[in-house]
Structures are given as structure tokens and as C-alpha cells.
Amino acid sequence: MVLKVGLDGNVVSKDSTTKHNTYETAQTETSGVTKEDTSSTSNTDTLATNGVPYNGTDAMVHSGTEVASNDTNGDAPSQITVPSWINGVEETGPSTFDVISPYTNIACWSSTSATPADALRAVDAASAAFPAWSATKPTARRDILLRAADLLEERTEANAEIMRTEMGADVGASQFFVVPLAIKMLRDVAGRITSVCGSVPTVEEEGQSAIVYKEPMGVILGIVPWNAPYVFGIRSAATALAGGNTTVLKSSDLSPRCYWAIGRAFADAGLPAGCLNIVSCRPADAPAVVNAMIAHSAVRKINFTGSTSVGRRIAKEAGMQLKPCLMELGGKNSAIVCEDANLDIAVQSVIAGAFLNSGQICMSTDRIVLHSAIAPAFLAALKSALSSAPPSDAPTLVSAASKARVQSLVTSSLAAGAHLIHGSVDAEPDEKASSIRLAPIIVGGAGDEDPLWLEESFASLAACRMVSSDEEAVQVANSGGYGLSAAVFTEDLRRGFRLAKKLESGAVHINSMTVHDEPVLPHGGVRNSGWGRFNAAQGLEEFLVTKTVTWKD
């Protein structure tokens, strides 16, 4: 599928005849997709949360009663409460927190806030389910995962609407990117289940034989973020389940209903109770909830996707328990534009890489590294493309705190001598004040120690710097300690490969943007961007343990 990305970073159209991970922008094209009005959603059907199959419409439980679809009319929080999934049962507890929609900056619904005791019950449920699930034949596990994928596909529009409401994603990013990618990942890992096999090495001693098994690990704890919830939930939970493990997801407090929808699909697909458990909690309770689960003796591995700072704390707790981690952390991703680059491709890819999903992607282009010979032409084309776009809604950020942080980064950088290439940090018009939006900003001249240059922005913000050689470009791109994704734009493929080998990054994309994720490609970083890999055969191996057995003939 080709997604065309408008100049504000929103996906404007799709071509289902090609791969989903390819993106196009056009200098004369802006967002032609109108964001769906999430201020009033109405479904005719309702859902009892006591095991009745979900049919793609939305409803939740409130105080034990069945409630119709959310109606975020801008006046009051909805009466929907997102439940936890524990041992196959949707539970609402006395403690809840509001989920704020970035589109309205008011509560769209509330979510059950799990306590450490609730989280430990979820781990206990996963532990109790593990013996039977790990003994299930691979084909049976495969069929359940494929049924869950079919259900998620049937519910694409409804699930994408939940994502738009909770995190402010546009129609293209939610309905045509994140949800379809998650479904493809689920089908891919389901297809890999029957390929798991060991080996029969030839040992040294005469009369002795050996076999090497691949076995499930046990209970896997997944700690997952808000910005691409269906992708992160699937790659964490489904990969663990595919390997014969059971799992607990600690979902983000910003997108709990998206993760609920994943649990609903697996339950309706016939996944046995306890195999997948999902809890969320208010931010203040997260350290106690997560640490309690990490310390539980049944948890054998932790996977975390999120910021480097939080990843350090989780890795420390896991290390104290001598438990392995899979960490996909932040990135400060560079796009190197060589003097022989195709200007149109480079400009289009930088715009898409920087502003898709409002820049709220771990692989987003944070740094634009320009060879000085092409810099004037590139910047002129970039500014023309951004400035000539007809007015459209600015990208939506997930929270007011995120916007305030980015505005502070830009203001401080400008005060230290940087300059604006595009955009501003001026206040929004009054009519937009009720939502959380930030128009694209590109800054030039940020210093080596400038937080804007060093820190992951996670917003519609990029910094630009000029260099005089490939060696300097590599040095600039490798500075700062991150290493998740990078891009190189050149018409000389050999040059692209030479640069790719020198870049300290988990992935390098030649003549395409830094945002690139698909089921067949291992995904992960190096240095401060983490370790281990999701996706493909390497991702499945992360959730298996190797056992050696020898015997005398």
C-alpha cells in the first residue's frame, strides 16, 4: 500500500496495489482527507462486555451496566469505562482515570486503574494458563491468531476511530497505516509458528547424540505505549503467544481503549482465558504496578517500547531480578541528503518522515543533515512545499504537556542563537485553542549541546544542519547516543551502502524516509535506542528459550 502524505504530515490517499510501507508526498498536495469529526460518534449496536462477541461497534461497561457507543459531545465526559482484561474477564474497578482526547482536550471516556494487586492477579492468570497453552499444537495457536487478525480487519474502521479519539491520529495514520500494519504483523507471526524448530548437531563423543529444542519461556510482560497502539500491542502480545507463551500487557494510560479492542479480538477468536491479560493504570501508580509484575516469579521476560529514560528504569528493575529485556527505545533519527540526491524524493521523504502522525513515531526524522552543495536548493524546495500548501489543520499532539515541552525546546533554542526555517511557536488562533495542535516547525542553527538537537522531540519538529563531507555527515548523525533509524539520499547506491555501514543505527533506508516498519524486517535499535528485535524470525526468537539435551546411544 502506498500512502500519500500531505504537507502537514497527514496521509491523504492510499494505493493498495503496493506495499504499505512506501510513502509519497507531492509538493502541490496537502491533506485531502478531512479528519473525521470525533465530536459525535453513534453506533446502532451495543456490546455487552460479558463475553458476547464484539461486532465492530463500540460500547463499554459503566458501573456494571451496558452502555452504548461513546458520545463525546464536548460538554461532559462519556460514561464509558474501559475495563481491564484479567483471566478472560473484563473487570471494572472502583478506581478510574479520565482519558483526554487531543481533539477536544476534554475527557472522552475513563479507564479502570489497576492496582499492584490487580496486576499480580493478571500475572497469576497468565501463569495458570501457561501449561495448557504451551502444550497447544502450533497449528491450533496459528488458527487462533489468524481468526483474531480477521476480526481486527472486520473492525478496522471502528478500531481506527478509537485511535483517532484517544491520541489525535488522522484518518490516514490510523485507518490506513497503523491498524492495517498491525493486522499484517499478526498474520505474519501466525504464519511463522509452524516454522519454529530446533536442530540435531553432531557431537564429539562417539556413542553420544544431542538435540537442541526451542521452547516457550513462560509469562511475558509487555509494557506498551500510546502512539501506534495496535502495532505495539500485536507485536508484543501476539509474538509471545505465537511462541507458546502467555502474556500480560501493561497498556498506556493515553490509549487504553485501543488495547481493550485487541483483547476483545483475541477473546472472540477463541484464545483461552488467562493467555492474554491487559491492565492500565493512572501514571502515578505505574511504577508500583510495573515493578510488582517485574518482581513476580512467573514473569520470565519483559519487553518495553517507549522512552529511553523510562527504559533505563525498567531495565534496572529487571536486572535486579536477573530477567532479560527486549527494549525498543527512543530515536533521534537523521536524514542525510547528499549533493547528488534526487531533490524531489529527498524533500518529499523528509516531509513525510518528520510529520507523519504529527512526528509522534520513534522513527520520525528529527535531524535533516544537508551537504552544503545541495542545501540552498533543498531548503528552497522544502520551504516552498511547506509554505505553498493551502491552509489545513495543524498536526494534533497527544497532550498539552507534549506541546508545552516542544514549544519550550524551540523557544530555548531560538534564544541560544538558532533560527526558524519554517513555522513558528506563536499562540494558536482562538478557534483552535480547545484542541492540542502544533504546526510543523523546522529549526536551523541548533548547537551541539542544544536540547532541541539532542532530545527526541516526538512532535512535528525537525532540526537542520549543513555539512561539507560524508564523513562529517556520519559524525553528525551518530552524535547524541541514539541509534534507531536513519535515511540516506543519493543517486549512487554504492555511496549509500558505504554511508549505511558507517551509521550506528538499527536500520538505514536509502532513498526513503526514516519511518519504515513491516513484518518481514527486524525492528530495533542500538546504543540508547535499545537492544533486541521485534518482527520477522528474529522477533519470534526473542520469545523462545534454547534447551540442549544429550544422551548416550
103/398 Cα distance (integer angstroms): 9
CA dist 58 and 69 (Å) reads: 5
Quick one: cell of 181? 500494519
Q: Is 112 helix (H, G, I), strand (E, B) or coil?
A: strand
Ranges assigned E (strand) in 18-164: 22-24, 60-62, 65-67, 81-82, 84-86, 89-91, 96-101, 106-112
Cross-strand pairs, 216: 544
120: left (phi over 0), alpha (psi -120 to 50) or beta: alpha
Ranges assigned E (strand) in 116-181: none
Helix orientation angle between 179-192 and 138-154, rounded to the nearest 10 degrees: 170
The whole-angstrom distance between residue 86's C-alpha and the CA centroid of its chain comes to: 23
Residue of 252, 261, 257, 303 lying closest to 281 (CA atoms): 252
Contact in structure between 98 and 128 (CB atoms under 8 Å)? no
Catalytically active residues, by annotation = 328, 362
Q: What share of the chain is helix, strand, coil (3-state, %, to 5)?
A: 40, 25, 40
Q: How many CB atoms lie within 10 A of CB 526?
A: 14
Q: Which residue has the cell 491520529?
A: 169
